[in-house]
Amino acid sequence: MEVSVRTLPIRLEPVDGEALDSWLEAVSHRLASAWGDFAEAIGLPAPNGSGDTAWLTRLTPAEAAGISVATGQQLAELHAMTLVRYDGTGLRIRQDTRTANRAFPWSRMRFSRFCPDCLRDSGGRWRLYWRLGWAFACE
């Protein structure tokens, strides 16, 4: 079954350095939409409780196209909001599973560190940098 993605009725620009999920959650909140409904509307897999968020690491062409159509953001900007931005430098991504290779030095951890001051100053918008294993202080 092919999902048809439509342009969203509002535009909300991502914050510089923001992670893709943070920005999409901010858009979903602004639309007063449940996350599952919003994700499906922009062409992301509906949450199924398994925690499958491979799209945070690397978007498929179909996922990127759906988000771009819905939000008006350029494909390059969307890809820069995922961990693929750091592939080969800050982490190594397994292309078959879209997961971080944890054997790579300083690879992604199972959790994120963050700066409480920056999080407060950004209105709760999460930086992509905080998802890296070597992130321990503000930039």
d(CA 3, CA 76): 22
Q: Which pLDDT does position 106 carry in this prediction? A: 53
Q: Which pLDDT does position 136 carry in this prediction? A: 61
d(CA 1, CA 75): 24
35 three-class SS: helix
- DSSP code at position 14: P
**Nearest by Cα to 25 from 35, 15, 10, 36:** 35
The Cα angle at residue 36 between residues 34 and 41, in degrees rounded to 5: 95
pLDDT of the chain along its 139 residues, tens only?
A: 355 899 999 999 999 999 999 999 999 999 999 998 999 999 998 666 665 678 988 999 999 999 999 999 999 999 999 999 988 787 788 888 887 766 655 554 555 667 788 888 888 898 898 888 766 666 6
- Is residue 74 within 8 Å of 89, Cβ to Cβ? no
In this structure, how many other beta carbons lie within 10 angstroms of the beta carbon of residue 21? 19
**Nearest by Cα to 78 from 132, 6, 25, 24:** 24
- Is residue 77 within 8 Å of 16, Cβ to Cβ? no
d(CA 87, CA 107): 10
